[in-house]
Amino acid sequence: MQAKPQRKPKGRPAFANKCYAEILSVLRAAGPRGVHRIFWLDPNSPNYMSQVGARITELNRDYGYGIESVDLPESEWKAGIRTKYVLRSEPIETQAFNDSRDWYEQKFGPRPSAKPRSQVFDLPLFSTSTSTTS
Protein backbone atom coordinates (compact mmCIF):
# COMPACT_ATOMS: atom_id res chain seq x y z
CA MET A 1 0.00 0.00 0.00
CA GLN A 2 1.39 3.36 -1.03
CA ALA A 3 1.44 6.27 1.34
CA LYS A 4 -0.81 9.14 0.39
CA PRO A 5 1.06 12.18 -0.89
CA GLN A 6 1.08 15.05 1.56
CA ARG A 7 -1.37 17.78 0.68
CA LYS A 8 -0.13 21.28 0.27
CA PRO A 9 -1.56 23.73 2.79
CA LYS A 10 -4.32 25.88 1.36
CA GLY A 11 -4.46 29.63 1.61
CA ARG A 12 -2.02 32.29 0.60
CA PRO A 13 1.68 31.50 0.56
CA ALA A 14 4.01 32.65 3.30
CA PHE A 15 5.79 35.11 0.99
CA ALA A 16 2.52 36.90 0.11
CA ASN A 17 3.02 39.56 2.83
CA LYS A 18 6.28 40.68 1.22
CA CYS A 19 4.61 40.73 -2.21
CA TYR A 20 1.78 42.95 -0.92
CA ALA A 21 4.24 45.52 0.40
CA GLU A 22 6.25 45.51 -2.84
CA ILE A 23 3.16 45.87 -5.04
CA LEU A 24 1.78 48.75 -3.00
CA SER A 25 5.14 50.53 -2.93
CA VAL A 26 5.44 50.40 -6.72
CA LEU A 27 1.81 51.40 -7.32
CA ARG A 28 2.03 54.33 -4.88
CA ALA A 29 5.19 55.60 -6.58
CA ALA A 30 3.58 55.33 -10.03
CA GLY A 31 0.48 57.24 -9.00
CA PRO A 32 -2.28 57.69 -11.61
CA ARG A 33 0.04 56.55 -14.45
CA GLY A 34 -0.18 53.02 -13.13
CA VAL A 35 2.23 50.14 -13.71
CA HIS A 36 2.30 47.87 -16.75
CA ARG A 37 1.79 44.22 -15.79
CA ILE A 38 5.01 43.28 -17.63
CA PHE A 39 6.91 45.06 -14.82
CA TRP A 40 6.22 42.01 -12.62
CA LEU A 41 5.94 39.29 -15.26
CA ASP A 42 9.29 39.71 -17.02
CA PRO A 43 11.36 36.75 -15.76
CA ASN A 44 14.57 38.71 -16.37
CA SER A 45 13.44 41.53 -14.09
CA PRO A 46 14.44 41.74 -10.41
CA ASN A 47 10.76 42.55 -9.75
CA TYR A 48 9.55 39.23 -11.20
CA MET A 49 6.41 38.01 -9.46
CA SER A 50 4.52 35.27 -11.29
CA GLN A 51 1.38 35.52 -9.16
CA VAL A 52 0.99 39.29 -9.16
CA GLY A 53 -2.63 39.00 -10.33
CA ALA A 54 -3.50 36.76 -7.37
CA ARG A 55 -1.80 39.10 -4.89
CA ILE A 56 -3.65 42.13 -6.33
CA THR A 57 -6.95 40.27 -6.11
CA GLU A 58 -6.21 39.50 -2.44
CA LEU A 59 -5.32 43.13 -1.75
CA ASN A 60 -8.64 44.23 -3.24
CA ARG A 61 -10.82 41.48 -1.76
CA ASP A 62 -9.23 40.85 1.64
CA TYR A 63 -7.64 44.16 2.57
CA GLY A 64 -9.92 46.78 0.99
CA TYR A 65 -7.56 48.31 -1.57
CA GLY A 66 -8.90 49.64 -4.85
CA ILE A 67 -6.41 48.48 -7.47
CA GLU A 68 -7.87 48.76 -10.94
CA SER A 69 -6.86 46.57 -13.85
CA VAL A 70 -6.85 48.79 -16.96
CA ASP A 71 -6.90 47.46 -20.52
CA LEU A 72 -4.32 49.26 -22.63
CA PRO A 73 -4.56 50.20 -26.30
CA GLU A 74 -2.73 47.82 -28.61
CA SER A 75 0.07 50.33 -29.13
CA GLU A 76 1.04 49.95 -25.45
CA TRP A 77 1.04 46.15 -25.30
CA LYS A 78 4.34 44.54 -24.37
CA ALA A 79 5.00 40.86 -25.09
CA GLY A 80 1.29 40.40 -25.63
CA ILE A 81 0.42 41.75 -22.19
CA ARG A 82 -2.22 44.44 -22.39
CA THR A 83 -2.92 45.37 -18.78
CA LYS A 84 -1.70 47.91 -16.29
CA TYR A 85 -2.60 48.33 -12.63
CA VAL A 86 -3.56 51.62 -11.01
CA LEU A 87 -3.98 52.18 -7.27
CA ARG A 88 -7.26 54.10 -7.04
CA SER A 89 -7.95 53.91 -3.31
CA GLU A 90 -6.64 52.60 -0.02
CA PRO A 91 -8.60 51.45 3.02
CA ILE A 92 -9.18 54.00 5.78
CA GLU A 93 -7.96 51.52 8.38
CA THR A 94 -5.12 49.33 7.19
CA GLN A 95 -4.90 45.74 8.35
CA ALA A 96 -1.56 44.10 9.06
CA PHE A 97 -0.49 41.70 6.32
CA ASN A 98 1.09 39.33 8.81
CA ASP A 99 -2.26 38.10 10.10
CA SER A 100 -1.90 34.36 9.67
CA ARG A 101 -5.35 33.44 10.96
CA ASP A 102 -7.74 31.82 8.54
CA TRP A 103 -10.92 33.53 7.30
CA TYR A 104 -13.08 32.00 10.04
CA GLU A 105 -10.84 33.30 12.81
CA GLN A 106 -10.61 36.72 11.17
CA LYS A 107 -14.40 36.98 11.06
CA PHE A 108 -15.47 35.20 14.27
CA GLY A 109 -12.39 34.97 16.47
CA PRO A 110 -10.73 31.80 17.76
CA ARG A 111 -12.36 28.54 16.77
CA PRO A 112 -14.27 26.77 19.53
CA SER A 113 -12.36 23.90 21.00
CA ALA A 114 -13.52 20.42 20.15
CA LYS A 115 -15.40 18.50 22.81
CA PRO A 116 -13.46 15.72 24.49
CA ARG A 117 -14.49 12.25 23.29
CA SER A 118 -15.86 11.39 26.73
CA GLN A 119 -18.52 14.08 26.34
CA VAL A 120 -19.52 12.84 22.93
CA PHE A 121 -19.96 9.25 24.05
CA ASP A 122 -22.02 10.18 27.12
CA LEU A 123 -25.01 10.68 24.88
CA PRO A 124 -27.84 8.13 25.38
CA LEU A 125 -27.42 6.63 21.93
CA PHE A 126 -23.80 5.74 22.65
CA SER A 127 -24.18 4.87 26.30
CA THR A 128 -22.61 1.58 27.28
CA SER A 129 -25.11 0.91 30.04
CA THR A 130 -28.40 0.52 28.30
CA SER A 131 -31.49 -0.49 30.14
CA THR A 132 -34.11 -2.56 28.47
CA THR A 133 -37.66 -2.52 29.64
CA SER A 134 -40.09 -5.25 28.82
Note if the pTM is more than 0.85: no
For residue 132, being part of any structural domain is answered with: no
101: containing domain? 16-126
For residue 4, being part of any structural domain is answered with: no
For residue 107, being part of any structural domain is answered with: yes
Can you name the residues that pair with 68 across neighbouring β-strands?
Answer: 86
- When comparing pLDDT for 99 and 42, which is higher? 42
For residue 133, being part of any structural domain is answered with: no
CB crowding 65-101: b at 16 or more within 10 Å, else e: bebeeeeeeeeeeeeebbbbbbbeebeeeeeebeeee
Rg for the chain, CA atoms, rounded: 25
For residue 7, being part of any structural domain is answered with: no
Number of domain units in the chain: 1
Which residues have CB under 8 Å from 130's CB, separation 6+?
none
pLDDT at position 126 is 58
For residue 1, being part of any structural domain is answered with: no
Q: Is the pLDDT of residue 7 over 60?
A: no
Q: Is the pLDDT of residue 25 over 80?
A: yes
Give the separation between CA 68 and CA 88, rounded to whole angstroms.
7
18 pLDDT band (50/70/90 cuts)?
A: confident
Percent residues over pLDDT 70 in the chain: 63
For residue 116, being part of any structural domain is answered with: yes
